[in-house]
Amino acid sequence: MIQAKNPMHVDAAHLPDARGHFGEFGGRFVPETLVPALDELTAAFHAAMADPAFQAQYSELQASYTGRPTPITFARRLTEHLGGAQIYLKREDLAHTGAHKINNALGQALLAQRMGKPRIIAETGAGQHGVASATAAALLGQECHVYMGSVDMARQRPNVFRMQLLGAEVIPVESGTRTLKDAITEAIRDWVTNVENTYYLMGSALGPHPYPLMVRTFQSVIGIEARQQMLEQTGQLPDVCIACVGGGSNAIGLFHAFRDDEAVDLVGVEAGGRGIASGEHAARFADPNMGRPGVLHGTRSFVLQDSDGQIMNTHSVSAGLDYASVGPEHAYLRQMERATYTLATDDEALHAFQMLCQLEGIIPALESSHAVAEAIRRAPTLPHDAIVLVNLSGRGDKDLDTVLKALE
Ligand SMILES: *Cc1c(COP(=O)(O)O)cnc(C)c1O
């Protein structure tokens, strides 16, 4: 058995309270029928994390199947071009299935197996989490059903086909705007009905307790590795860690290991879409009119909503950042001033996408390009010995059609 290089743990120093609150955010806003299921899940998660056999099983798969640890790459030409801080990339794009989502999908699928739940359900927007879930389910021989809005299915044909090839059933959702938020609603409905034999595999650091804690823990491998790798390669910690924030899982996965390193700035980048003034964006924190605390999909966080509390339609060139709420721990980190949040517009992300292609030979996901855009903005303002670490959450092969259309 391959030794766990980076044993994961549930960080006792930064736990939410017993009901899953991160300060005034998080919690559990669910139908009464789901409370026992969430209690069972919470207990099973903590028991698994305390079990060396579960840790070993997860670490072994992360090494032999996902391809962890993913490397750190010094972006030499981008750094020289910008003439400021040194830019390093954490290469989650090199993980199996091409993004960080597999870290969480594998962890939760193993947990489902341990809990004796043979049926996995998941929701997906762009299809990336659906593909990661279908992958993990295929590996472990589980039945997998993925809820997906019919509008998203039409937009993301290749991912629908991928999920089907991997043996999953993709269930079209025809309610509401027929996109991600409606798919989550349907998945929760399925779970309420079939909770006896069904595991709900949530895709980001969202939803009712214990999901935000659980997803953070499975994604924390990103930051644990990156922190050690930066110390080995540069002899110091980065000055700034930057990650894009959709639901917030790749960002919390990077940030968590640096949480107590107070000299390290943590910067999350939201989707600025066509700009705040246009109203077409997914910047929950940056829009002072529409972004306010509220409850969506079982958790309290910042939510884009109109004055009646109706959830706003969002827009981003990157499907993975296109969601009206954000993980509750990010709302908390922002309120505590431990992390700051900024945005990159569609145009800035597309520009960053092209720069990384041409200067580094890396085609990044459009989501990750938002983080790169912030590094491009920030690096020239910093001294040459400063270090900026960017989480490259995924590869851009899935985005080629979108980029082609946008550049025409
Ligand atoms: C899904 C996705 C994201 C956004 O999700 P988070 O939970 O915020 O990480 C970012 N990057 C890529 C490549 C994705 O697939």
pLDDT of residue 378: 98
Structure confidence at residue 371 (pLDDT): 99
The pLDDT of residue 318 is 92
User: Greater confidence, 13 or 51?
Assistant: 51
Candidates 59, 90, 92, 101; catalytic one: 101
Residue 232 falls in the annotated catalytic set: no
Task: Give yes or no: 90 in active site.
Answer: no
Confidence of residue 11 (pLDDT cuts 50, 70, 90): confident
Q: Is the CB of 109 under 6 A from ligand 1?
A: no
Q: Which of 238-242, 269-273, 312-316, 325-329 has the lowest mean pLDDT?
A: 312-316
Buried b (16+ CB within 10 A) or exposed e, 97-114: bbbbbbbbbbbbbbbbbb
**pLDDT attached to residue 9:** 75
Residue 393 falls in the annotated catalytic set: yes
Task: Please give the Cα distance from 9 to 217 (Å, whole number).
Answer: 7
- Ligand 1 within 6 A of CB of 245: yes
pLDDT digits (tens, 9 = 90+) for 260-315: 999 999 999 999 999 999 999 999 999 989 999 999 999 999 999 999 999 999 99
Cα(233) to ligand 1 centroid in Å equals: 26
Determine contact, residues 241/273, Cβ cutoff 8 Å.
no
pTM of the prediction?
0.97
Between 7-21, 91-105, 205-219, the lowest mean confidence (pLDDT) is in: 7-21
Active-site residue among 123, 270, 348, 367? Answer: 123
DSSP string, 111-153: HHHHTT--EEEEEESSSHHHHHHHHHHHHHT-EEEEEEEHHHH
Atom of ligand 1 nearest to the CA of 245: 8
| Ligand 1 pocket check for 393: Cβ under 6 Å | yes
Between the CA of residue 83 and those of 80, 87, 212, 384, what are the distances in Å? 5, 10, 38, 7
Query: Looking at residue 292, what DSSP letter applies?
Result: E
CA of 103 to the centre of ligand 1 (A): 12
Is 127 a pocket residue for ligand 1 (Cβ < 6 Å)?
no
Ligand 1 atom showing the smallest separation from residue 394 Cα? 13
pLDDT at 7: 57
Statement: residue 115 has pLDDT above 60? yes
CA of 33 from ligand 1 middle (Å) equals: 30
